[in-house]
Structure 1
Amino acid sequence: MDVRFRLDELVARLGGELVGEPATTVRRVATLDQAGEGDLAFLANPKYQSRVKSCRASAVILAPAARDLSDLPRIIVGDPYSYFARVAQLFNPPEVFAPGVHPGASVASPIPSSVTVAAGASIDTDVELGEQVVIGAGSRIGRGVRIGSGTRINANVTVYHDCVIGAGCIVHAGAVIGSDGFGFARERDGSWIKIPQVGRVVVGDDVEIGANTTIDRGALDDTVIGNGVKLDNQIQIGHNVRVGDNTAIAGCVGVAGSTTIGARCMIGGQAGIIGHLRIADDVVVSSGTLVTKSITRAGVYTANLPVQGHGDWVKNFAHLRHLDALVDRIRALEQRLEESTPE
């Protein structure tokens, strides 16, 4: 689909200050380096401002401080990156699905006529689906599940019994919502007794859950994902975890059970958070960080080492192994100095 907009049309829809020819037409967004005729480029990071002059786009999105870096037609906005995202949505509207139930689907609950159920999907009893919900091919919606209006469940997703997903959500392929949490009691002989996981997963509105991400159901209480949360691919959320509104978690993060993450947090890729912790609102955890204790104040937290050559790493680690002995020697020297210093 060929979608085109004049710059004055974009400004009328999304705001901003237009500088240059209002009738300039653009058909897609592109980077400063790759943009050409008909493209709308954007400068989000000031360190790339030297590339604006050589940009061959038809127009650019700039912050007020960068408005004079180009003679191209331009839209001046406070946050070029978020503006680019909204323009990209206009150029790439979501797929429109034809409502109806595929003959190859299995549906055991009454559903609205606006719902789409694809081939091989299975909907169990006592399920409630809102208007315009999409259930992708091969997905399984368990008994008693509630899904809000406009939510899109992509292919091969499994939603276990009694879980709740809000309105306007996107669940990507292969995600599993509501599988049993890792709950076992150990016998004296070393064997394990499974603890029934009787809670649910409750997902708020406007949540996106990435491909092959798993969210365990609660052991007793619910696992709760707040409104506006964004989860990347291949994330593990343990039982009874609570994630606050508008928090974003990048790929391959593991959150152990009964941890509470505040609102508006950002958790970098491959970070690990152990169980039973509390993380305050507005916390940023850097990629690869292992969080082993609660974080009570907003800020940026990092607990990893930068990459270095193997030889340097071996030498530095050798020094780390002897830190305790070095500290003892320093303390002994300090004590001797104190004893030898005349009063």
Structure 2
Amino acid sequence: MNRRSYRLEEIAHLVKGEYFGEKDFQIFNLASLEKAHNHHICFVNGEKYLAQAEVSQAGVYIVTESLKQLLGSKKNFIVVNNPYLAFATLTHIFDKKISQRGIESTAKIHPSAIIADDAYIGHHVVIGENCVVGNNTIIQANVFLDDNVEVGKDGFIDANVSITGEAKLKDRVRIHTNTSIGSEGFGFAPYQGKWHRIAQLGSVLIGNDVRIGSNCCIDRGALDDTILEDGVIIDNLVQIAHNVQIGQNTAIAANCAIAGSVRIGKNCIIGGGSAVAGHLNIADNVTLTGMSMVTKNISEAGTYSSGIGLFENSHWKRTVVRLRQLADVPLTQLTKRLDHMQAQLESLESTLKLRK
């Protein structure tokens, strides 16, 4: 059962910070600077938020040492090196925990399945043969675990999730509503005007501390497994095709599509609405800005972009016309024009120097 409040001194200890002010001051919850009341705690993550902090009604402020000096009108502080990280830690303290344990009467579990005593299995959950559910894992209503699926300890599987293809999930994996793990990959062989289905014989392997949002599809491999390594985080509405491998701590924002057999390195950031064509490799520490389209390998770390940014509509139309006109000019002809212009500029510069 969640506590209703914490003292200032306790909160400082939890975030490994130093408190200033009334150590027994009671804190009931987190809040934004704009919405905070006297017994709320807020974080100030930079000088650009000082004006908001000055007029905020919060009772406690999480700040750096330098920011504390600029908020002389306030009384209670927790000083840390990284206020945003401290805020992230406190969200777990004030989060409403699911306290239920055990198996609901409407759940259907095969006798061969192994369910930890302190796990929770919600209403109308179906768990197949030889499945494993680890300690302290929460499985919400209407979840389907097909035969031979394994879920590690401290996991959270939200309502209406389907996990098939003998997928194996390690510890502290969070999967949100309506997501499909281990569904059949999109594999077909064309022959004589027809598509011939290829049975998908691989699985899905998901590492520790992976988070997958709502309405995502992670397909199982055709032969090799689809792999999400430790610490991968995936937003809502993302498609991961068969045989994809995603390296540790890579983040993928909403509405991305990763085609089959792609290899994405560690610590990458894939911006929202991006797409990666099949059988490509992306190096470690690559950032793709939103709406990027990757059609060739990326072998070096860095930030990459594609597409045309937003214009006012009439400006966009003019730009498209110019691009079409440019496409109609042969490259050799365009190069000659540029060389001629450069020669004219150099000649003009020489004339001006002589006149001086």
TM-score (structure 1 length as normaliser)? 0.92
2:30 corresponding residue in structure 1: 29
Residue of structure 2 aligned with 1:274, choices 274, 277, 284: 277
Q: What CA deviation, in whole Å up to 9, does each residue of 1:142-162 have, x standing for no partner?
A: 111111112121111111131
Q: What CA deviation, in whole Å up to 9, does each residue of 1:18-77 have, x standing for no partner?
A: 233322222111122222211111122443233222222111111233221213221121
1:242 corresponding residue in structure 2: 245
2:171 corresponding residue in structure 1: 167
2:201 corresponding residue in structure 1: 198
CA distance in 1, matches of 2:262, 2:234: 16
2:321 corresponding residue in structure 1: 318
Residue of structure 2 aligned with 1:88, choices 74, 88, 91: 91
CA distance in 2, matches of 1:119, 1:337: 74
CA distance in 1, matches of 2:307, 2:69: 40
Closer, same or farther: CA 200–57 of 1 in aligned 2, 3 Å = same
How many residue pairs are counted as aligned between the two chains? 338
CA contact (8 A) 1:99 1:132 kept: no
Q: The residue matched to 1:322 in structure 2 has which SS?
A: helix
Which of 31-40 and 310-319 deviates more? Answer: 31-40
Q: CA deviation at 1:185?
A: 0.9
Which of 330-339 and 108-117 deviates more? Answer: 330-339
Q: CA deviation at 1:338?
A: 6.5
2:106 corresponding residue in structure 1: 104
CA distance in 2, matches of 1:121, 1:336: 72
Q: What CA deviation, in whole Å up to 9, does each residue of 1:90-149 have, x standing for no partner?
A: 11143122212x222211133333232222111111112222322221111111111111
CA contact (8 A) 1:106 1:120 kept: yes
- Asked if 1:150 corresponds to 2:154, the answer is yes
CA distance in 2, matches of 1:197, 1:315: 48
CA distance in 1, matches of 2:251, 2:314: 36
CA contact (8 A) 1:6 1:22 kept: yes
Which of 5-14 and 312-321 deviates more? Answer: 5-14
CA contact (8 A) 2:30 2:91 kept: yes
CA distance in 2, matches of 1:9, 1:226: 35
Closer, same or farther: CA 15–254 of 1 in aligned 2, 3 Å = same
CA contact (8 A) 1:52 1:69 kept: no
2:138 corresponding residue in structure 1: 134
CA distance in 1, matches of 2:238, 2:29: 31
Q: CA deviation at 1:330?
A: 5.9
CA distance in 2, matches of 1:222, 1:286: 28
Which of 239-248 and 212-221 deviates more? Answer: 239-248
CA distance in 2, matches of 1:107, 1:164: 18
- Asked if 1:292 corresponds to 2:295, the answer is yes
- Asked if 1:210 corresponds to 2:213, the answer is yes
Pairing 1:24-103 to 2, within 5 Å after superposition: 24-71=25-72, 72=74, 73-100=76-103, 102-103=104-105
Partner AA of 2:26 in structure 1:
T
Q: The residue matched to 2:69 in structure 1 has which SS?
A: coil
1:255 corresponding residue in structure 2: 258
Q: CA deviation at 1:304?
A: 3.2
Closer, same or farther: CA 286–335 of 1 in aligned 2, 3 Å = closer
Which of 22-31 and 244-253 deviates more? Answer: 22-31
Closer, same or farther: CA 177–332 of 1 in aligned 2, 3 Å = same
- Asked if 1:264 corresponds to 2:254, the answer is no
Which of 292-301 and 329-338 deviates more? Answer: 329-338
Q: CA deviation at 1:181?
A: 0.8
- Identity across matched positions, percent: 32
Q: CA deviation at 1:255?
A: 0.7
Partner AA of 2:135 in structure 1:
E
CA distance in 1, matches of 2:120, 2:211: 19
Unaligned regions of 5+ residues in structure 2, if any? 348-356
Q: CA deviation at 1:239?
A: 0.6
CA distance in 2, matches of 1:158, 1:84: 33
CA distance in 2, matches of 1:105, 1:307: 50
2:352 corresponding residue in structure 1: none
Partner AA of 2:4 in structure 1:
V
CA distance in 1, matches of 2:157, 2:32: 31
Q: How big is the alpha-carbon RMSD for the aligned residues of Structure 1 and Structure 2?
A: 2.1
1:17 corresponding residue in structure 2: 18
